[in-house]
Amino acid sequence: MSSNRTGKGSDRSVRDGILATLPSLRAFAISLSGNVDRADDLVQETLLRALANIDSFEPGTNLPAWLFTILRNLFRSEYRKRRREVEDSDGRFAETLKTHPEQNSHIEFQEFQQALAKLPPDQREALILIGASGFSYEETAEICGCAVGTVKSRVNRARVKLAELLSIEGVDDFGPDQASRAVVAGGGGR
């Protein structure tokens, strides 16, 4: 908020670091909120907070973890405020994405997105940070402000719950068979 942003904090290298972290930060925001507009507002607010408090960032420490912590806390405080509202994740953002062979189909991808949105936020954030953002359990514990053991149990519960939500009953339904069928179909095979 204050305009005297001179000194070590205004280092170009920190700005470059922020820029380099942005794609992953935005992917985290979208995965977390399931809504592109809301995610971009979160990213914007995170950027403004980070830049306003850039002097509190110690160069050489984990810049991505610092940014993810800000975004995660913003999301959580916003989530508390709007808890009574229906989660507005509708898988709409999935429409903007390409369909990969490993996703089998657009519908399966949307189902995945919707199942993810049904997880409690503490489990969802832990699963994304560990499973997609590439943070360690220690870093994730720091970002989420909890113990490493808590992160591990949240990730485990998230995985069990996701499997349940996706009604996975066997490999026939959700495994290599279907994946290879999709590949065959996509390749114009038999």
Partner 1 sequence: MNERKPAKTGSKMQFSDASPRQAALGRQIQDRIGQQLRAMYNDVMAQGIPDRFTDLLKKLDHRDDEEKS
Nearest in space to 166 (alpha carbons), one of 154, 183, 178: 178
Any contact of residue 12 with partner 1 (CB under 8 A)? Answer: yes
Number of residues that bind partner 1 (CB under 8 A): 56
Question: CB of residue 152 vs partner 1: minimum separation in angstroms?
Answer: 11
Residue choice 107, 147, 148, 160 for contact with partner 1 (CB under 8 A): 160
Any contact of residue 1 with partner 1 (CB under 8 A)? Answer: no
Minimum CB distance to partner 1 smaller for 48 or for 185: 48
Question: CB of residue 118 vs partner 1: minimum separation in angstroms?
Answer: 11
2: Cα separation from own chain's centroid = 30
Any contact of residue 61 with partner 1 (CB under 8 A)? Answer: no
Stretch that binds partner 1, among 78-86, 144-152, 162-170, 182-190 (CB under 8 A): 162-170
Any contact of residue 96 with partner 1 (CB under 8 A)? Answer: yes
Nearest in space to 66 (alpha carbons), one of 79, 53, 82, 80: 53
Minimum CB distance to partner 1 smaller for 85 or for 172: 172
Any contact of residue 31 with partner 1 (CB under 8 A)? Answer: yes
Minimum CB distance to partner 1 smaller for 51 or for 146: 51
The token duo for 57 is: 């960032």
